[in-house]
A and B are shown apart, each in its own frame.
Chain A
Amino acid sequence: MMVATVLILAKSRNLFAVVVLGGIYSFLMATVLVALDAVDVAMTEAAVGAGVSTVLLLGALHLCRADEAKPAQRPWLPLAVALGTGAVLVYGTLGLPAFSDPQAPIRTHVEPRYLNEAQKETGVPNVVAAVLASYRGYDTLGETTVVFTAGAGVIALLRRRKKKDAAKDDDGKAAP
């Protein structure tokens, strides 16, 4: 189903359909993540990918035309690059340990400590929350700063535009 969604997504020229299909793809991805027992990530994917980003993209779509322009040339080179990168990445996964192999390095390094000691050390039953906020507190601080920077960037980019529009509006409500 996800493959079908992606194919239609790539084929479609109507941007509204693309945005809605993107939301559907996010929901499908969220169900996959639930199936993988990553409930926290699934929740984020459903809320951000399907919810807020769809609304933001629709808002952006409102500002421009609803049909994708015809590409200037056939996209064979980008397609080849994408396929090549994908093939290399798939080749790379061959070297990884098998899925849920208990002897894999990721299972023997810090994971046992997190899983066994997290509840005792932090009193938090959800290990994901414990790792996120406590063991990896610096990383999460960095992430929060990144989110803040994104917001600040949007303000910096769009606010000046708004002032210009307001100035034009003051000139007699003629501005589009």
Chain B
Amino acid sequence: MKNDLVLRVVAKLFIPFILLFALYVQFHGELGPGGGFQAGVIAAAGVVLHALIFGLDAARRIVPERLVETMLAAGVLIYAGVGVAGLLLGGNFLDYFVLSGDPVYGQLRGIFWVEAGVFVTVSGVMLKIFYMFAARGRDEDGEEA
């Protein structure tokens, strides 16, 4: 699909909006529908679209595999880190009230970081699985081309 002008132009137009929408879903998740999981999937879908249109290597240049693999673990660590931060500040595990002077603000902060952790892990896993499958198919593509 690399040489189809229409697909290339439409994808170039769409991908920024998909990624922006993912960020909107991420940061607006407390106010409207959405949250870390949905945002992570949407962001991963944006990169997957890029990989489908411009080829796997182009996507790998933008989002290298090392980064994706780091994201996999980093998200869980961020999430658990929020819990440990609560412990260190004198609360229970995953207790957000202590993260800030004002309990409600602490809650907001805790939820923000927790959602960020979910976002990072989910988008990392989705991308990693896609890369894995696509890379396996590519060897056969190379033979056909």
Interface members, chain A 147-176 (any B CB < 8 Å): 147-148, 150-152, 154-155, 158-159, 161-162, 165, 169, 175-176
Stretch at the interface among A14-22, A75-83, A130-138: A130-138
Cβ contact within 8 Å between A122 and B107: yes
Closest Cβ of chain A to B20, distance in Å, is 15
Instruction: Known contacts A63-B137, A126-B33, A134-B107; decide if A52 and B69 are in contact (CB<8 Å).
Output: no
A158 and B133 alpha carbons, distance in the complex (Å): 8
Which of the residues A43, A48, A121, A165 comes within 8 Å of B139, measured between beta carbons?
A165
Chain B contacts for A125, CB-based, 8 A: 30-31
Cβ contact within 8 Å between B122 and A147: yes
Closest Cβ of chain A to B86, distance in Å, is 9
Cβ contact within 8 Å between B45 and A52: yes
| Beta-carbon nearest neighbor of B44 in chain A | A52
Cβ contact within 8 Å between B73 and A133: no
Chain A contacts for B105, CB-based, 8 A: 123
Is A39's beta carbon under 8 Å from chain B? yes
Number of interface residues of B (CB under 8 A): 54
Stretch at the interface among A2-10, A53-61, A91-99: A53-61
Q: What is the size category of the interface that chain A forms with chain B? A: 35 or more
Interface members, chain A 91-139 (any B CB < 8 Å): 120-126, 128-130, 132-134, 137-138
Closest Cβ of chain A to B44, distance in Å, is 6
Interface members, chain B 97-130 (any A CB < 8 Å): 103-105, 107-108, 110-111, 114-115, 117-118, 121-122, 124-126, 128-130
Chain B contacts for A132, CB-based, 8 A: 35
Residues of B within 8 A of A (CB): 25, 29-35, 37-38, 41-42, 44-45, 48, 52, 69, 72-73, 75-76, 79-80, 83, 94, 96, 103-105, 107-108, 110-111, 114-115, 117-118, 121-122, 124-126, 128-130, 132-137, 139-140, 143
A selection of 9 A-B contacts at a CB cut-off of 8 Å is A40-B38, A59-B134, A124-B31, A125-B30, A126-B32, A129-B29, A134-B111, A147-B122, A154-B129
Residues of A within 8 A of B (CB): 39-40, 42-44, 47-48, 51-52, 55-56, 59-60, 62-63, 120-126, 128-130, 132-134, 137-138, 140-141, 143-145, 147-148, 150-152, 154-155, 158-159, 161-162, 165, 169, 175-176
Q: Which 6 A-B pairs have the closest CB atoms?
A: A151-B125, A59-B133, A39-B33, A122-B107, A137-B94, A123-B104
